[in-house]
Chains A and B, each alone.
Chain A
Amino acid sequence: MTGRTIDVIEAGLVPYGEALEWQRSLAQARLEHRLQHDVLLLLEHPPVVTLGRTSHAAHLLRPDGLEVFEVERGGDVTFHGPGQLVGYPILDLTGYRPDLHWYLRTVEQALIEALAELGIPATRRQGYTGVWTSDGERKLASIGVHVKQWVTWHGFALNVSTDLSHFERIVPCGIPGVVMTSVEREGGKGVGEGSLWDHTIAAVLGGFGRAFGAELRPALAVTAR
């Protein structure tokens, strides 16, 4: 047993700006050692476009009244909306490996394992951080992170049943011609009665546990403030 524990907070539908505040205060608490354990925030956002630090204005094609945030994560422009599972790991990487490339690859690994559990073979694509279908043609999940003194925030966005037409308003991740897809569209399914959403959450938690060698457990009464 490694003794690494990640408290999982399933927060439901949270406006982007509010979740951003949560993340920043959780990360600050973590790096000041006021938080005992690492945290994984799992949530959905109402429709919103965010621009990472390497965004090009031209990649935002039709904002059409959507809220737009410019934020401190790596990467280009992306879209968040209902049906997309957004995960913000607040991890102290000194407890793992102080290595951002290792971290990006391990988040990818966690999602690849989760997708395998849902029956979708997925893979990495050299030079394009994110998780792709096994032929490397369609993108299932985007990743963009920030780290301060080895504490991470921001994270990943996995399309579960997202309305993919929203991605037509942007050049996702700044890669022209990229085709976005979702767990639903790729025919992913879990075992048993639960919804695809619940199966995906369970699979993602399992994937993170294995990829990071950590115990993930539901945290109660952990608030951002």
Chain B
Amino acid sequence: MATQVFMEALSPTMEEGRVVKWHKREGDAVKAGDTLAEVETDKAVMDLVARADGVLRQVAVAEGQTVPVGSVVAVIAVPGESGGGQTAPASAPVPAVKGEGGQARPAPARSPARAAAVVAADATRVKASPLAKRIATETGVDLKLVTGSGPGGRVVKRDLEEAGRREKGEVRGAAAPPAVPPQAPLPSPISPALRGGAPYEDVPLTQIRKTIAKRLATSLGPIPHFFLTSEVDMERAAEARDALNRQLGDRGKVSFNDVIIKATALALTKHRACNAWFQDDHIRYWNDVHIGMAVAVDDGLITPVIRDADRKALLDIGREARELAEKARSRRLQPNDYTGSTFSVSNLGMFDIDQFTAVINPPEAGIIAVGAITSKPVVADGQIVPRRRMRITMSCDHRVIDGATGAAYLKTLKEMLENPLAMLL
């Protein structure tokens, strides 16, 4: 199958483009993504990129020549094939080529070709909505590689958006158990077991479950985790929270979770080494602190982000956390709501879990797992007294955080929680 290469529009108003340089010659082997030629308009030069593998045939436009948008400038043939003429759609003739300064009027722009600047001849078999085709062209997505969810497997806009997000690694759904308690028992996609029926039930993976599977496999496997646990005295935090809530009256309530998110963020400002992303060949140390907060949703979990949590008031954190959790449960989170966190918190205290380890949400370097607050007998000033205590466990990516670095952070976090006044300093 031959693929025609068309003059692309560099902007919606562009009617013609000038080929300023060919990077490939007739007979050269090309791979999808290779730059074939450069096209110029105004002070901008754009690469014309191959959308298929093959051999470049029939270079129809010379360097310096100007042709209307939608014109065929070359054909990519599979090796051994002579050219694209016989396989080209009848509706795409090669328009006359106009030299620089020539008087020939641009050929009337054919609207499908203008919108779809580069269309593989064999892509016509892909079922897709017109909007999806346009988005695919604009973003350079190969429709053949996209699974359609429309009627009859038709590719629709949301499939492309989904594909784009996947490609950009923006579906950062899963990290760890939820920080915010589900308000009602979560509906399960699994029906109650029917005794005496089939011995098992196969449930296809939902999109979110696939994402969780994929993302967690990129975490605990490849990331060398280690874990640090510390027990925190929450007595004063509890007193401070109660006092704050009394002051606030009906203006709002602050939860332990809000206090923990704020303290986690503030402690990170003092330990920037832990507020980082591990990336292939570098570590990005963030100046801003954006806390991902694991939230349980139907059949999964997601980590919406509280941005600049270190600089927000407790009451604002609380309000935002509740809004995000609500949006998460009703599936109304926008990508912006759940991307870009620099560190995460996961809280299973409401499930009476004393202590657990959470799985890092890549590319972040750490996550705090928060257990339940329980009253324990503690020796204080030589006497045994009941104190509210909570265990927190930090999971660290050893590629970014070393043992002592993580321990120093955890110590600061513990001090902040034990002396909530420190959070105001």
Contact = CB atoms under 8 A, between A and B. Distances in A.
Contact of B45 (A73, A101, A103, A221): A73
Given A217-B287, A217-B288, A145 B168 contact: no
Q: Which of B21, B45, B288, B339 has the most CB of A within 10 A?
A: B45
A219 B11 CA distance: 30
Interface in A24-59: 33-34, 36, 52-54
Interface string A149-177: 11000000000000000000000000000
B285 interface: yes
Contacts, number: 106
Given A94-B138, A99-B11, A72 B282 contact: no
Interface of B: 10-14, 20-21, 35, 38, 40-47, 49, 138-140, 167-169, 277, 279-285, 287-288, 335-336, 339-340
A148 B285 contact: no
A100 B49 contact: no
A102 B287 contact: no
B40 A74 contact: yes
Given A3-B336, A103-B44, A94 B139 contact: yes
Given A33-B167, A147-B47, A218-B287, 6 more contacts: A54-B40, A74-B45, A94-B138, A103-B44, A147-B10, A217-B287
Contacts of B10: 99-101, 147
Contact of A104 (B44, B47, B139, B277): B44
- Could you say which interface size class chain A belongs to? 35 or more
A12 interface: no
Contacts of B139: 94, 98, 150
A104 B14 CA distance: 14
Interface of A, helix, strand, loop or mixed by DSSP: loop
B43 A143 contact: yes
B282 A74 contact: no
B302 to A, nearest CB: 16
A221 B283 contact: yes
A89 interface: no
B11 to A, nearest CB: 4
A148 B280 contact: no
Contact of A148 (B35, B41, B284): B35
Given A33-B167, A147-B10, A72 B284 contact: no
